[in-house]
Chains A and B, each alone.
Chain A
């Protein structure tokens, strides 16, 4: 069965997948595939890929993209000029300062919770974390609506993400992201032992389905069916020559060093390789921003920000050079900001009232700053941008239908970015 599945032409395979999704999930792919018109008018050259960098722990906006020089709130971070006159950013971001013409910085981000788990969930899904349902993250939406561009590889990949990542939410398992723990190691266990040739592998697959037949007949639960999808996905992946995209050791050392020998650097490099192989959405997680204590210590925020700067500016340059930046949207997000006041432990605490995010690449008008905060970075002055608005902007840049109603298996109606409105001035 496996063999014949592999020989099916791509168009038929796509249909098979859709049938599967329909029958198992009660969610239809088809209407949305053909109805982009319903959403905000998608940009002509809509983003086909997204690289989404997530700063876990809540990145201090004041020490990165919204510096407050000359104020107590500004802390020890100085501001530096960028390539766009009149725009300054934090001193630990010199690489991005030189690329400001490509960046749209949003300083008017605001959110409703100062709890990490809830804030991160809201940022990734546009919805509040509830006990009764799990909402999909944007990578699964993009795959669900637009389909894969490379059928053999997962539609989305998350690098170093926590367990509680919302993943595909209530959408079918086929659009769930594939997790990679350490970008240096890539996707592990992809090499079968020497004795196991392809024929033998197929024998084993057949044995599995024979032995578990009775169990599957009795327990046709969503969870069990999802596992069946992961098995199919794994088999397909193992047989694909594109698997090598996950292996960053294939890159020249010069390139690996340029990105930075750390999680974010190697994560960005992996993301670029996956975009080259047409993976839709790659999320790279970079933790350690929860600077309640000693924020300016040598291993604290300055070092972390420098790693981010090196990785992201190298990534943007690399994408541009390879002609990928005009179809790849790059996003930098975090769950909330940090307090203007420095606390008694020389750190900053949680601050949901104001923070910064960043967009660059496909579909984005660079060289601009959206919104502003007050003199101390405490409150947004006007035009608050909520997580759902940021997601709506990303979705619009990808040409996703924001107005279309989707139903969860239990029949509840949802929108891709909840009630979010795209920031029109950001979209090109």
Chain B
């Protein structure tokens, strides 16, 4: 009823915009001669990103059926507990929620327009499909995983280069690799990072053999065994022996080539040899910097040599073992997978961990995806599953697990089902989670946007084609710096070092971005997923709670005073009010004050202004003239409504 009025009026507004854009395209040749009037860089429009696998359109009916099943289970839960769910979201707020959840940003004005003017009955389902097969989805899921996998550009030390691994994550998200295969590849990858980027997973914890198993179990099985590293787990049944037996699977894995091994390096340890030879040739040459770095980078490789065995700690205090006794690998629960010929113990562990018969492997990811959608897991906390942890609706959890197995671990397809439920399309509840009581999912939780959602949304309002600002590619890394360390001569290393300096180093990367996508020479404008990791603590993203990726899920959505100061006075807020920002341009295209106010409200809040909003905005604009527009935009960006997802 009232949505018709809304759609209708909104349509009227957008007509002149479209006309204006058409004109602009015709006049573009003329425009190119003029120097750019704006300080805000514009993306070229081409995106150097892997193609995203299309959504199988033939499955729409099946998706609807699975979604209906979930809704039925939720309705049963509500009936049994006397819960009244919230109402369905109107189209405008649905559109905002879908973009933020799936694409990780608010919709652009023309995207809202396209959705709101669609008369297709399946427009919601089609929007979900379109977003799930977009670069935006890859970017947003990359943020999700980088927070759990603690991605850092240089984990452990400066010599280790992890960006090829990060590219691999983007690519596999884009190609929609089945989740079980994805985890298996990370857990079992061998070699150097530029030949097999999935080794980045093991390299992340290089030198932290025991923490590594703890992290793996927490991320992929939702289980905490860390306490048992030093003593029997106080609140769970894990023993220190369990921990060591589990750790024994990966303990033999090496992350560095054996520099002292004469068979491998018959000419001697490469770092020392090459440095000595270089100094002999040129005593003035600095062998400490990038020269050593490329040698060290070449030494990072993941392999499973035989012979390194884990032993119990020297102060082992329990009766079931002796100090320093060697440990035989055994999984923390379930049965030992049969050893297959030629298989490393790491591969054996990966087979056990990612098996559909491992109950926690599927439960963990399903529970995490549910939390990602609704704000609360079916079991909480999501990373501390116990044998007796009960979901509020065991039937629902079971259904989701079965569904994911049936879909052969196509995570994106399961998300597609979840987002098509009536349950997820309800307006956020004002109810708060009481950790002492079961949460009955009356609706998705009202959530503050993540740091990445806020940043990407502000860029959406300000920057054209921001997706063009991708990080410099690492695809040519192998060709440029891969060395045969046993036969390499100092000149080879020098050449590799110079190329590294020019193309891949931090300085090189920041040179490239400075030329291409910075505002006032400082603020790098690129989506959160295309920025260095971790960012310095003062960066906008860190202020709003992006993690430092030291610990699993180090992100936060808490507020603080510094955030408010940034929103009041920070550069990104002011960039918005400058000529050449997207919202500024859209404002210029609107023909009347009435329409301009609509442009501002739809752009920022994704909704129509109420009559009260209209009169407040209008009187401000009449009072203050052009500064009034700035005041209205600034104020809307600073509302709580902008920061939260309804």
A187/B632 contact (C-beta < 8 A), A131-B380, A182-B537, A215-B639 known:
no
Contact with A along B516-539 (1 / 0, CB 8 A): 000000000000000000001111
- Given contact pairs A116-B551, A132-B435, A216-B640, A207 touches B568 in the complex (Cβ within 8 A): no
For the side of the interface on B, what is the size category? Answer: 35 or more
Residues of chain A within 8 A of B546, CB atoms compared: 163
Q: Are B448 and A223 in contact (CB under 8 A)?
A: yes
- Given A179-B543, A224-B644, decide whether A210 and B616 contact each other with a Cβ distance below 8 A: yes
Residue of A nearest to B447 (CB): A223
**CA separation between A355 and B539, bound complex, in Å?**
34
Instruction: Give the docked Cα–Cα distance between A352 and B635 (Å).
Output: 50
Does B570 contact A178, Cβ atoms closer than 8 Å?
Answer: no
In the assembled complex, A190 has its CB within 8 A of some CB on chain B: yes
Interface size on A, residues (CB 8 A): 69
Contacts of A16 in B (CB 8 A): none
Nearest Cβ on chain B to A124's Cβ, whole angstroms:
15
Binary flags per residue of A201-225, CB closer than 8 Å to B gives 1, else 0: 0011001101111111011111110
Q: Are B381 and A131 in contact (CB under 8 A)?
A: yes
Proximity bits, B69-109, A CB within 8 Å = 1, else 0: 00000000000000000000000000000000000000000
**Chain B residues, Cβ within 8 Å of A195:** 627
Which residues from 415 to 452 on chain B have a C-beta closer than 8 Å to any C-beta of chain A? 428, 430, 432, 434-436, 446, 448
Instruction: Verify if A238 is at the interface (C-beta below 8 Å from B).
Output: yes
A212 and B641: CB pair below 8 A? yes
CA distance A167 to B558 in the complex (A): 10
Q: A167-B558, A192-B569 are in contact. Are A211 and B430 (CB under 8 A)?
A: no
- Contact residues of A between 216 and 236, Cβ < 8 Å to B: 216, 218-224, 226-228, 230-231, 233-234
Report A172 CB to chain B, min CB distance, Å.
13
Q: Among the listed B432, B551, B624, which residue makes an inter-chain contact with A164, where contact means beta carbons less than 8 Å apart?
A: B551
Closest residue of chain B to A178, judged by CB?
B561
Is B627 in contact with A200, judged by CB distance below 8 angstroms?
yes
Whether the Cβ atoms of A204 and B635 lie closer than 8 Å is yes
Residue B515 CB within 8 A of the other chain: no
Check A218/B430 contact, CB under 8 A, given A114-B229, A211-B636, A234-B564.
yes
Q: How far is the CA of A113 from the CA of B557 in the complex (A)?
A: 26
The answer to whether A181 and B536 have CB atoms under 8 Å apart is yes
Contact of A182 among B436, B538, B547, B643 (CB under 8 A): B538
Contact A164 B536 (CB under 8 A): no
Residues of B within 8 A of A160 (CB): 537
Is B538 a contact partner of A230 (Cβ separation < 8 A)?
A: no
Residues from chain B with a CB closer than 8 A to the CB of A164 are 551, 554, 556
Chain B, 472-503, contact with A by CB distance < 8 Å: what is the 0/1 string? 00000000000000000000000000000000
Residues of B within 8 A of A292 (CB): 207-208
Whether A203 touches B620, Cβ cut-off 8 Å, given contacts A215-B640, A230-B559, A292-B207, is: yes
Q: How far is the CB of B254 from chain A (nearest CB, A)?
A: 12
- Report the bound CA distance from A94 to B526 in whole Å: 47
B434 CB to nearest A CB, Å? 6
Task: Indicate if the CB atoms of A230 and B560 lie closer than 8 Å.
Answer: yes
Q: How many Å lie between the Cα of A191 and that of B574 in the bound state?
A: 12
- CB proximity of A223 to chain B, nearest CB, Å: 6
Look across to chain B and name the residue whose beta carbon is closest to the beta carbon of A207: B635
**Complex: A402 Cα to B536 Cα, angstroms:** 38
**Interface of chain B: mostly helix, strand, loop or mixed:** loop
* B226 in the interface (beta carbon within 8 A): yes
Nearest CB on B from A226, distance (A):
6
Near A by CB (< 8 A), chain B positions 537-555 give 537-539, 542-543, 545-548, 550-551, 554-555
**Which of B230, B554, B568 has a CB less than 8 Å from the CB of A163?**
B554
Query: Is residue A384 within 8 Å, beta carbon to beta carbon, of the partner chain?
Result: no
A188 within 8 A of partner (CB): yes
State whether A162 and B430 are in contact (beta carbons under 8 Å apart), knowing that A154-B561, A208-B638 are contacts in the complex.
no
Inter-chain contacts of A233 with B (CB < 8 A): 561, 564
Are A238 and B556 also in contact (CB < 8 A) when A208-B635, A211-B641, A214-B610 are?
no
Q: Does B579 contact A (CB under 8 A)?
A: no
A303 proximity list for chain B (CB < 8 A): none
Question: Is A345 among interface residues, defined by CB-CB distance under 8 A?
Answer: yes
Give the residue of B559, B569, B570 whose beta carbon is less than 8 angstroms from that of A226: B559
Shortest CB-to-CB span from A37 to chain B, Å, is 32
> Taking the nearest CB of chain A, how far is it from the CB of B352, in angstroms?
24
A163-B554, A212-B639, A233-B561 as given contacts; A221 in contact with B432, CB under 8 Å:
yes
Q: What's the minimum C-beta distance from A233 to chain B, rounded to whole angstroms?
A: 5
Q: Quick one: which of B381, B548, B634 contacts A162, CB cutoff 8 A?
A: B548
Instruction: Say yes or no: A215 contacts B230, CB within 8 Å.
Output: no
A262 to chain B, nearest CB (A): 15
| Residue A180 is within 8 A (CB to CB) of chain B in the complex | yes
Q: In the assembly, what is the distance between CA of A113 and CA of B646, in Å?
A: 39
Q: Name 12 extra pairs, CB < 8 A, besides A112-B234, A212-B641.
A: A163-B546, A176-B559, A181-B543, A182-B538, A187-B562, A189-B565, A193-B574, A211-B635, A230-B561, A234-B561, A341-B314, A352-B230
Q: List 20 A-B contacts (CB under 8 A).
A: A160-B537, A163-B545, A163-B547, A163-B558, A177-B560, A180-B562, A181-B542, A181-B562, A182-B536, A188-B570, A192-B569, A204-B634, A208-B638, A210-B613, A211-B639, A215-B639, A230-B560, A230-B561, A238-B565, A410-B436
